[in-house]
Structure 1
Amino acid sequence: MNKLVAGLLFAMALPIRLNRIQEPSQVVFDEVHFGGFANHYIQRKFFFDVHPPLAKLLIAATGSLAGYDGQFDFSQIGNNYLQHDIPYTAMRAACAILGAFTVPMAFLTIRDGGHSLPAALMAAVAVCYENSMVTNNRLIMLDSYLLFFTALTILCWNRFYSANRNRPFQASWWLWLTLTGAGLGMTVSCKWVGLFLIATIGSSTVKDLWHLWGNLSVSKSHFIRHFMARAMCLIVLPVLIYVFTFYIHFIVLRYSGEGDVHMSAAFQHSLVGNRVPDSPIDIAYGSRVTLRHLASKGGYLHSHPSNYPEGSKQQQITLYPYRDENNWWIIRQMNSTLDLQNEGDMLGSDNNTWVKWVRHGDIIRLDHASTAPRRLHSHDIAAPVSDVEYQKEVSAYGFPDYEGDANDYWRVEIESGAPTKEAGERLQTLRSQFRLVHLMQNCALFSSDVKLPEWGFGQQQVTCMQNSKKPKALWMIEETYNSFLPQDTKYVNYLVPNFWEKFVELHKVMWTANSKLTEPHPYQSRPSSWPVLQSGISFWASDHKHVYFLGNPLIYWGSLVGVFTFLILSLFFQIRHKRGLPDRYPGKREFFENAAGFYAAGWAFHYLPFFLMGRQLFLHHYLPALYFATLVLAVGFDLALTRLPEGGRLLVTLGVCVAIIATFHSFAPITYGTDWTKEACEAAHWLPTWDFGCERYGN
């Protein structure tokens, strides 16, 4: 019976999600990002994102199977799909189908938990006709995958915990425990908020093990078997799945792409198309070199034939993330272009010219190879963007027949801790880390994340900073060339990182980037506003249509009331129990408290941590918590109907479902982006903070 009803619910949910899936025929909201990521996967070009790869891989796989070649420009909201042969409907439909599956899963979750058919139907209808879920399910976004795996995991855990609790280690027991672990792994592999689901299942697991530990009929060996089974299925298996998705991620993204700039030089070297050629290890005066800034994920010291618009108005010095002819410099001695007469460290390959190493403490000049005789230069002029006294402008300055001046002089200070003694005493390619300290201003060549404006082509600013912190003033020579070096000179290159090294590095960068998502956004909101549905998000708009991410108010507000009612009643019943007062629901109260308590814990784990985050947050971050709150509402609804006759329960359920569906249709025009009248729009404008703009619609 339950399977039949679940099938019917899926059949009901599918057209709700697929309705007008081709509309709008333009890029909508975060399709900008996730459609673009699909491009990179299909083209196999490395990119960077703050989310784990599973959902993005599935989006790309859907597009690829539908014949998409990864060439469409997703970069702007409103870009027209119809101008290109893009299977965007197939990519959206995959998300919609997964969203439709959450409806029968909500039904089965409540039924498998031992609750009534009316409660399960109410939960399914609430998920089916929840406007914000429908809006998200119809677009090329990660949340459909996240919600699908979240709902699947809770369903599997419910079946394991409820139906198989008293049949440990049997086939079905192992099946549902293993599927729960697989669901955890796939959820967290879509978004890191899957960690909240792990916390939810983990807290329930700890509680279950605690009861087993206190059960004197359970032997120690039996308890250890229970513990190990859960550890393997709920910890080891999710970790393996999570790691495996990154293994696939790295295999697919073999080629250099726009994400290279976020990664270390060694990581970039592992990508096809960005591999650095072998270079001589020895650095001598007269060598052509490229200098890589260590704290900026590999930006190169760079100059180009454009001047600063203010300050000295001399040639710009920047940090540029890609290999380029303008990254090459020639190391000169302080007072001559090249000393050909005095004895150096070895005789050059021509058996005539002496080669002299560049040592710690040497005073050097750096000639820019492509715009010589311009040299690396600094002076007592404020930096162009960081307009502070302690950061000096760095420029490229010089002209023919001009030998330069003392502002071209830089002292080489090799950092201690080099891998070899030689690399600590003299410059060596990829081995020595060093600072360049300006002789006159006593400042170090420095860079940070500050970008130059349009006149600087958005490249990273380079300054000379007094009292600079070492990490942002350290440099390394990546490539070098010197024709005077002997034939038997040792050549070096980056060590290609293995999978685990790349895995760890990528996660460090993801964590850092996540914490830096603090730029204001017109539609960002704080968690306190989500449950009360204070505002929505404009996803897409045209002259007379609007896709506006806004939830079904009855479900948002009703589920919030359900959660707080549960918390208040739980406290009330505990007080009554402590005072020895009779139980008004004998045999049922504890059952309902445990069921609603688990879902309420899921709501709390998926909602409260957002209060600790300082990054950009949006209403759609509340969707997993909303799913749990809806399950709490269904359990409370079941308890409230306990004393009604069967006919009364069905009648109340029908009334609630009709109200939910009617409210859904009231807001359907902004869910689907269809035509609407100004009068109907204003009637649906329940809160003044909902800014979906009725002025765009006609009468």
Structure 2
Amino acid sequence: MVASASTVRKRGQLSETTDLRPEPSDDNGKSKSHTPPTKDTSVIKGSHLVTIVAITVLAMFVRFYRITKPDSVVFDEVHFGGFASKYIKSKFFMDVHPPLAKMMIAATGYFAGFNGDFTFEEIGMDYIEPQVPYVSMRLLSCVLGWLLVPMAYFTLRASRCSHLTASLGALLVTFENSYTTQFRYILLDSPLVFFTALTILSWVHFQNQLWNSFSCKWWFWLFASGVSLGLTGSVKWVGLFLYATIGLCTLKQLWDLLGDLSITPSRFLKEFMARVLCLIALPGVIYTSLFQVHLMVLKESGEGNGFMSPQFRSSLRGGEIPDSLQDIAYGAKVKIHHDVINGYLHSHPHYYPTGSRQQQVTLYSHRDHHNNWIITKAEDDNSTDTNLEWVKNGDVVRLLHAVTKKRLHSHDVKAPVTDSKIHFEVSGYEWGDSNDLWRVEIYDHDRSVPESADRLIAFHSKFRLIHNKMGCALYTHNVKLPKWGSEQLEVACMREAKIPKTLWVIDTVMDDRLPEDSPKINYRKPSFMEKFLELHKVMWRVNAGLSSYHPFGSRPADWPLLWRGISFWSKNDAQVYLMGNPIIWWSTSVVLAFFFASAGILVLRRQRGYKDSVNERITELLNNGGFFSIGWALHFLPFFLMARQLFLHHYLPALYFAILLLCVAFEQLTRSIPCKLRLLLVLLICITVVYVYFLFSPLAYGTSWTKQKCRASQWRPKWDFDCNRMTDETASSAASVSTTQIPTV
């Protein structure tokens, strides 16, 4: 059968929409027609090497200048310096970010002599007197931020940009104020953007080797891309956006391979499996292994215990739970733990300020004696009968609080926080009545212990407590009580409640009437994978719950136009305020708008049948900048879906993509103009960027500033750095550290 001319691909013909299309291969697996570029721009000439070395040295001075100042805790050093202390002390803590960057900070501090005694509790705490090696710890961020400069250069060269354009990109990264500010403190953003940039560099080089599949260079850059991906995702979950970026590009590569009639099924399978191995399996192994190291180091019980289940806590040194009696009889004292949400049914001698004003009943994440309840029969809740009678499925019981002697009680009163007609208050009530009666319903049980389906057995029986009068179930959820409830979780009696949030387990039984040889039980030691999965569930829940107001919070729509910054630290007539270089931010925003508008114009022109040089120029721009534009979009647009606290620094990875795209656009748009004019244009851009950088540099370095210069620099009304604290002259007097700075997460 002869194929029609329209269905036959011509060898050597490139796709109209991409220059990365795999081409027909020879017997050795090398592409016959997708040959290496005629001019390899990634090869650096001697004179060019001198230039990039000079820019890198310049960047070193820009990044490292005044690294010793401020000599006190700045902004989120409260969190990440504190985590370093806990790593060194091996104290378990809970954080919403993966562990790599935090472990790097801790290791740097440890090798610099930090013993972990300094707590980093408040912004403004002095580093000098307690001899904290804060400079060494800051140097980690500083070095990684500095290395971003040559990486930007080499990435642009690998993207077939000229030496002049690549040098422009390196200078833009050097004189970006937000990078100078954010990349000089004990924070996670410098490692995040560094590993993001390393992934981009590796991936661009890999794409340049598509013509040479399975060669050493091809394998090296594919492997490097996978390693960098794993490291990026191990710093912050924002790294998942980079997975999506590389994933889309990989799907495009595989789609082109699948459509190439000269690619055999076995060759396609090899290409597919190589990418699965390096871009999925390898990053997954790196990510999981770093969490294993994290859990091996944090082996002591610590402040993070309250977030985790008793089973998890019992695996930590100092968090062990004593063996418990297994059998549960009327009159036994028990601790009742929620099956899904970490916490115990709890009461204390404090009263609701509204509603019934009876004693509070809450869910409390720590073990203490206020979690103890005595199970009694419905008709006689003072019974201490020595005749043991097991608590069975379907029994109606009362629960007597062991410390305050109040009974677990519910009635037709609105829950203290949740405003709903199906949520009722649960309280502690002294006088016994029918509102104290609860029916035990065993919902699930351990199949290896059959009797746990018929009667309550510690650890093995999952049960519900149904109010005997109103029919609602004892229920809890991740809603905190106000300060009058010590911010413990609300417990309510809910009708039509989802089953998981009404399930309870008894994990402690105290009963002196049972013989000494009675069977005892404890939590099974969790495996690493069980701890890994639980930790991620908690991280996800806590991260989603970071929705409270912050005075310097912002939304994604504010970021590209640099609507406002973040106050980090202030003292006397100096302050540190996260602020971008307006020229760079606004220029990248214009280029992004131009780029996506060009894509739309190309679609319309093709639909109308135009085939001219305009289409070719636009297509070339989209081909060369497509990867960076996708990276920017996937590192920016997902934030619109997030309800949690967001800040300007969340835009910094997307900004790096935007700077690279700006340079690619500059390369394409100025390619046809004379070299001298092009050089003059680059000099003009650099002079403007450097001038604006130094104009706002007091905010980056925390140097003294006059009130007049400060106010003259407030180009937008929401650039709310505090000019009122500045003096008319640069001389400053003694003053205390401002308390208006609030750490974030």
Normalised TM-score (structure 1): 0.90
Map Cα deviations across residues 606-643 of structure 1 (whole Å, 9 max, x no partner).
11222222222221111111111111111121223322
Stretches of structure 1 lacking an aligned partner (at least 5 in a row) = 342-352
Structure 1 CA distance for aligned equivalents of residues 148 and 78 of structure 2: 25
Q: Could you tell me how far 1:653 is from its partner in structure 2?
A: 1.4
Residues 46, 260 of structure 1: 8 Å contact kept: yes
Residues 391, 465 of structure 1: 8 Å contact kept: yes
Which residue type is aligned with residue 109 of structure 2?
Answer: G
Could you tell me which of 224, 238, 248 is aligned with 2:283? 238
Could you tell me which of 73, 79, 101 is aligned with 1:33? 79
Structure 2 CA distance for aligned equivalents of residues 51 and 69 of structure 1: 23
Mean Cα displacement is larger for which, 241-250 or 607-616? Answer: 607-616
Structure 2 CA distance for aligned equivalents of residues 29 and 438 of structure 1: 49
Q: Secondary structure at the match of 2:460?
A: coil
Q: Could you tell me how far 1:239 is from its partner in structure 2?
A: 1.2
Which residue type is aligned with residue 19 of structure 1?
Answer: Y
Could you tell me which of 345, 356, 359 is aligned with 2:392? 359
Which residue type is aligned with residue 681 of structure 1?
Answer: C
Which residue type is aligned with residue 443 of structure 2?
Answer: E
Which residue type is aligned with residue 684 of structure 1?
Answer: S
Residues 139, 184 of structure 2: 8 Å contact kept: yes
Query: Is structure 2 residue 669 aligned with structure 1 residue 624?
Result: no
Q: Secondary structure at the match of 1:329?
A: strand
Mean Cα displacement is larger for which, 29-38 or 236-245? Answer: 29-38
Q: Could you tell me how far 1:240 is from its partner in structure 2?
A: 1.1
Q: Percent identity at matched positions?
A: 48
Map Cα deviations across residues 308-335 of structure 1 (whole Å, 9 max, x no partner).
5566555443332111122222223334
Q: Equivalent residues in 2 for 1:396-411 (5 A)?
A: 396-398=428-430, 404-411=432-439
Mean Cα displacement is larger for which, 92-101 or 444-453? Answer: 444-453
Structure 2 CA distance for aligned equivalents of residues 585 and 6 of structure 1: 34
Mean Cα displacement is larger for which, 572-581 or 417-426? Answer: 572-581
Which residue type is aligned with residue 364 of structure 1?
Answer: V
Residues 331, 384 of structure 2: 8 Å contact kept: no
Residues 334, 365 of structure 1: 8 Å contact kept: yes
Could you tell me which of 260, 266, 269 is aligned with 1:221? 266
Could you tell me which of 175, 186, 195 is aligned with 2:240? 195
Query: Is structure 2 residue 588 aligned with structure 1 residue 553?
Result: no
Mean Cα displacement is larger for which, 515-524 or 191-200? Answer: 515-524
Q: Could you tell me how far 1:530 is from its partner in structure 2?
A: 1.0
Could you tell me which of 60, 69, 76 is aligned with 1:23? 69
Q: Could you tell me how far 1:466 is from its partner in structure 2?
A: 5.2
Residues 1:295 and 1:576: Cα distance change in structure 2 (over 3 Å): closer
Which residue type is aligned with residue 527 of structure 2?
Answer: N
- Aligned equivalent of 1:347: none
- Aligned equivalent of 1:124: 170
Q: Could you tell me how far 1:103 is from its partner in structure 2?
A: 0.5
Q: Equivalent residues in 2 for 1:1-150 (5 A)?
A: 1=46, 2-150=48-196
Which residue type is aligned with residue 94 of structure 1?
Answer: L
Residues 549, 670 of structure 1: 8 Å contact kept: yes
- Aligned equivalent of 1:169: 214
Which residue type is aligned with residue 78 of structure 2?
Answer: V
- Aligned equivalent of 1:302: 346
Which residue type is aligned with residue 302 of structure 1?
Answer: H
Q: Could you tell me how far 1:511 is from its partner in structure 2?
A: 2.4
Could you tell me which of 357, 361, 371 is aligned with 1:327? 371
Q: Equivalent residues in 2 for 1:382-397 (5 A)?
A: 383-386=415-418, 391-397=423-429
Residues 1:364 and 1:531: Cα distance change in structure 2 (over 3 Å): same
Q: Equivalent residues in 2 for 1:458-473 (5 A)?
A: 458-465=487-494, 468-473=497-502
Q: Could you tell me how far 1:573 is from its partner in structure 2?
A: 5.8
Residues 1:426 and 1:529: Cα distance change in structure 2 (over 3 Å): same
Q: Equivalent residues in 2 for 1:646-657 (5 A)?
A: 646-657=675-686
Q: Could you tell me how far 1:393 is from its partner in structure 2?
A: 4.5
Which residue type is aligned with residue 316 of structure 2?
Answer: L
Structure 1 CA distance for aligned equivalents of residues 361 and 403 of structure 2: 13
Residues 1:119 and 1:471: Cα distance change in structure 2 (over 3 Å): same
Residues 1:219 and 1:296: Cα distance change in structure 2 (over 3 Å): closer
Structure 1 CA distance for aligned equivalents of residues 499 and 60 of structure 2: 58
Map Cα deviations across residues 174-214 of structure 1 (whole Å, 9 max, x no partner).
11111111011111111112122122222222333333334
- Aligned equivalent of 2:322: 277
Residues 73, 79 of structure 1: 8 Å contact kept: no
Residues 303, 315 of structure 1: 8 Å contact kept: yes
Residues 6, 108 of structure 1: 8 Å contact kept: no
Residues 1:482 and 1:3: Cα distance change in structure 2 (over 3 Å): farther
Query: Is structure 2 residue 243 aligned with structure 1 residue 210?
Result: no
Query: Is structure 2 residue 597 aligned with structure 1 residue 568?
Result: yes
Residues 184, 197 of structure 1: 8 Å contact kept: yes
Residues 294, 475 of structure 1: 8 Å contact kept: yes
Residues 230, 287 of structure 2: 8 Å contact kept: yes
- Aligned equivalent of 1:346: none
Residues 6, 105 of structure 1: 8 Å contact kept: no
Map Cα deviations across residues 8-37 of structure 1 (whole Å, 9 max, x no partner).
332211221111112222222222222222
Residues 1:395 and 1:598: Cα distance change in structure 2 (over 3 Å): closer
Q: Could you tell me how far 1:357 is from its partner in structure 2?
A: 0.7
Mean Cα displacement is larger for which, 304-313 or 6-15? Answer: 304-313
Q: Secondary structure at the match of 1:27?
A: coil
Residues 333, 365 of structure 1: 8 Å contact kept: yes
Map Cα deviations across residues 258-299 of structure 1 (whole Å, 9 max, x no partner).
2222222322222222221221210012222111123431x1
Query: Is structure 2 residue 513 aligned with structure 1 residue 484?
Result: yes
Map Cα deviations across residues 199-243 of structure 1 (whole Å, 9 max, x no partner).
222222233333333444443333332222222111211111111
Residues 1:161 and 1:287: Cα distance change in structure 2 (over 3 Å): same
Query: Is structure 2 residue 716 aligned with structure 1 residue 687?
Result: yes
Could you tell me which of 281, 292, 299 is aligned with 1:254? 299
Structure 1 CA distance for aligned equivalents of residues 254 and 351 of structure 2: 69
Q: Secondary structure at the match of 2:212?
A: coil
Residues 1:221 and 1:362: Cα distance change in structure 2 (over 3 Å): closer
Stretches of structure 2 lacking an aligned partner (at least 5 in a row) = 1-45, 729-745
Query: Is structure 2 residue 635 aligned with structure 1 residue 602?
Result: no
Structure 2 CA distance for aligned equivalents of residues 388 and 640 of structure 1: 61
Map Cα deviations across residues 121-161 of structure 1 (whole Å, 9 max, x no partner).
11001001001111110111111001000111111112222
Residues 1:454 and 1:611: Cα distance change in structure 2 (over 3 Å): closer
Structure 2 CA distance for aligned equivalents of residues 29 and 592 of structure 1: 41
Residues 1:218 and 1:460: Cα distance change in structure 2 (over 3 Å): closer
- Aligned equivalent of 1:427: 456
Which residue type is aligned with residue 389 of structure 2?
Answer: K
Q: Secondary structure at the match of 2:531?
A: helix
Residues 1:263 and 1:19: Cα distance change in structure 2 (over 3 Å): same
Could you tell me which of 607, 613, 617 is aligned with 1:583? 613
What is the RMSD of the two structures over their aligned residues, measured on CA atoms? 2.7
Structure 2 CA distance for aligned equivalents of residues 379 and 566 of structure 1: 63
Normalised TM-score (structure 2): 0.85
Residues 1:264 and 1:583: Cα distance change in structure 2 (over 3 Å): same
Mean Cα displacement is larger for which, 44-53 or 98-107? Answer: 44-53
Residues 605, 615 of structure 2: 8 Å contact kept: no
Residues 331, 383 of structure 2: 8 Å contact kept: no
Structure 1 CA distance for aligned equivalents of residues 638 and 589 of structure 2: 17
Residues 287, 481 of structure 1: 8 Å contact kept: yes
- Aligned equivalent of 1:350: none
Which residue type is aligned with residue 412 of structure 1?
Answer: V
- Aligned equivalent of 1:667: 696
Structure 2 CA distance for aligned equivalents of residues 221 and 339 of structure 1: 77
Mean Cα displacement is larger for which, 232-241 or 413-422? Answer: 413-422
Residues 1:410 and 1:225: Cα distance change in structure 2 (over 3 Å): closer
Mean Cα displacement is larger for which, 186-195 or 219-228? Answer: 219-228
Residues 1:360 and 1:582: Cα distance change in structure 2 (over 3 Å): closer
Map Cα deviations across residues 519-554 of structure 1 (whole Å, 9 max, x no partner).
222222221221111111122223422211111011
